[in-house]
């Protein structure tokens, strides 16, 4: 996509040069033809080299796609068993690290291959750690470590931290509201039923609060370690 915009700008620049040429070119016809031929030769050389470079980049992206697909095939095969051994899991993790360090793929294949990578990562987390809470913690750590290694990490981490803090404050307000509501519920059959309902909602909110706090901790750990 960036290449497309670059070529578009170059095309616009070329047209602008042509307009200026017609407006400011020399009066002598022979001299104008000579300079115009020279000018076109320079531009043709430039565009031919640019096209060759872009073609090489496209080939490189196709090669990256093929490498990623081949590695993902191996990862999926290693993790296909319901309870793969430690050796298979470690090997799959090493291969996943290779996948994550391979460069760009063709833009048309980007969403498909990224979806497959995410599915393989989730499967790897599941096989490595069956416990959902521990698995979620591993996923959070990996997510924020990758974010910390990305260009512009400070801005992205700060934005994510502010989002999580905002979410945490919302949940804390909900927890306080539920706790206050329970205190003012009258005793009796209807009151007990309502109290039980709010208690369930309160426990869910507290669990969400705990989850967001853990995610915020993982983010700050990754941020301080970068």
Distance CA 134, CA 125 (A): 9
Question: Which residues does the chain have with pLDDT short of 50?
Answer: 1-2
Q: What is the pLDDT of residue 55?
A: 73
Q: What is the pLDDT of residue 174?
A: 95
Q: What spatial distance separates the first Cα and last Cα of the chain, rounded to whole Å? A: 30
| 212 and 163 Cβ atoms separated by less than 8 Å | no
Q: What is the pLDDT of residue 133?
A: 77
Q: What is the pLDDT of residue 186?
A: 81
Q: What is the pLDDT of residue 180?
A: 92
The structure's pTM equals: 0.47
Burial 84-109 (b: 16+ CB within 10 A, else e): beeebbebbbebbeebeeeeebeeeb
Cα distances (Å, whole numbers) of residue 201 to 71, 175, 184, 188, 210:
44, 9, 16, 20, 14
Q: What is the pLDDT of residue 1?
A: 47
Instruction: From 147, 143, 159, select the one nearest 226 (Cα to Cα).
Output: 147
Both tokens of 115, joined, read: 């979806």
Q: What is the pLDDT of residue 183?
A: 87
Q: What is the pLDDT of residue 179?
A: 93
Q: What is the pLDDT of residue 199?
A: 93
């Amino acid at each position: 996509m960036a290449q497309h915009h670059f070529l578009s700008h170059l095309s616009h620049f070329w047209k602008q040069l042509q307009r200026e040429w017609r407006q400011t070119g020399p009066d002598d016809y022979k001299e104008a033809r000579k300079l115009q031929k020279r000018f076109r030769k320079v531009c043709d050389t430039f565009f031919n080299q640019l096209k060759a470079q872009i073609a090489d980049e496209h080939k490189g992206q196709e090669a990256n796609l093929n490498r990623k697909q081949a590695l993902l095939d191996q990862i999926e095969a290693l993790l296909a068993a319901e309870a793969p051994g430690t050796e298979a899991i470690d090997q799959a993790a090493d291969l996943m690290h290779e996948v994550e360090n391979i460069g760009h793929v063709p833009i048309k294949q980007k969403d498909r291959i990224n979806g497959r990578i995410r599915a393989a990562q989730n499967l790897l987390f599941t096989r490595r750690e069956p416990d959902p809470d521990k698995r979620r913690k591993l996923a959070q750590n990996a997510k924020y470590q990758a974010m910390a290694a990305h260009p512009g990490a400070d801005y992205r981490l700060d934005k994510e931290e502010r989002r999580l803090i905002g979410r945490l404050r919302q949940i804390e307000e909900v927890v306080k509201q539920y706790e206050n509501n329970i205190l003012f519920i009258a005793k009796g059959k209807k009151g007990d039923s309502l109290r039980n309902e709010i208690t369930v909602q309160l426990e869910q909110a507290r669990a969400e609060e705990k989850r967001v706090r853990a995610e915020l901790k993982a983010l700050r750990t990754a941020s301080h370690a970068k």
